[in-house]
Structures are given as C-alpha cells and as structure tokens.
A = this chain, B = another copy of it.
C-alpha cells in the first residue's frame, strides 16, 4: 500500500542511477586499459589470475569454475577462445576420463605478468586513490549487505 511506498526516495533514486552508471562504465574503462596495454580482456585476466595462483598453473575445469564463480558452460566457451589464442592448454586427467585440466602456457604467463601492473595501477587510480579508508569501510559494509541479500535470495530460489 502507501505505507511501504512502492517507489524510491529522491536520494535513493539518485544513488541508484549513478551506481548503475558506474557499474557499466567502470568495467568498460578497465577493459579499455587492459586492451590498450595487452591483448587481454577482463575475463581473460580473471582466468589467468586464478591459474597463476595455482601450483603448476594446472587446475581441473570444475575447480576453476568454482573459484571464478562461473558456470561450467561459460568457462568452457571462454577456454576455447583462450586456447585458440595460445593462453591456455587443455590436458587429460589420467584418473578420470571425463575431466580435463586447464594449463597455463608460457604465453599465458607472460601475458598476465605483462598486464598486471598497469591493471592494478588503473584500479587504484580510478577508485582507491580517491576513496579514503573510512569511505572504503562504509562502501565495504554496503557491498557486504547487498551480497548477503543476494545470497539469501539465491537460497530462497532453490
């Protein structure tokens, strides 16, 4: 009814619109920088980070999907493209005929080592350099709350 009003307050609307806009423009800016300084996309970067974090740069596809919080299908598509560009390679799993490993190639390792410093610099420059520790804490609190709600919603969906 009118008591819990169906719309957003002025302030909420303003923050919401800007938030949405930032959420489209920030990834776009990061993507541009990454493309300018390397041949990597943002998702490429995420995959390569996971692989470098792993001993031997070798992971089971499903483990990688879980670490990235990606769907198996999405990862499969993406790995196919990355494999085509020589960034990763697939290997069979001796113990399980269904599974496969994803292995970081030397090109892949070289690519992310080349790209990482400028990428981190860009993240810092676009966000953290202008956001103090107190603001960061407030932001973190909001993000955590929204994530908690999203998880709640996800649980209730199953």
* A120–B11 CB distance below 8 A: no
Q: Does A97 contact B (CB under 8 A)?
A: no
* A139–B8 CB distance below 8 A: no
Residue-wise interface mask of A (127-156) relative to B, using a CB-CB cutoff of 8 A (1 in contact, 0 not): 111110101111111111111111001100
A16-B127 Cα distance, complex, nearest whole Å:
9
Q: Does A93 contact B (CB under 8 A)?
A: no
Given contacts A3-B125, A120-B6, contact A142 B135 (CB under 8 A): yes
* A142–B150 CB distance below 8 A: no
Chain A facing B: main interface SS: helix
* A29–B153 CB distance below 8 A: yes
Given contacts A22-B150, A26-B150, A147-B21, contact A14 B127 (CB under 8 A): no
Please report the total number of A residues contacting B with Cβ < 8 Å. 52
* A130–B143 CB distance below 8 A: no
Chain B residue numbers with a CB within 8 Å of A121 are 3, 6
Binding site for B on A (CB under 8 A): 1, 3, 6-8, 11-12, 14-16, 18-19, 21-27, 29, 69, 117, 120-121, 123-131, 133, 135-150, 153-154
Instruction: List 16 A-B pairs, Cβ < 8 Å.
Output: A6-B120, A8-B120, A8-B124, A15-B140, A16-B128, A22-B146, A22-B150, A23-B23, A26-B150, A126-B146, A126-B150, A130-B145, A131-B142, A131-B145, A135-B138, A138-B138
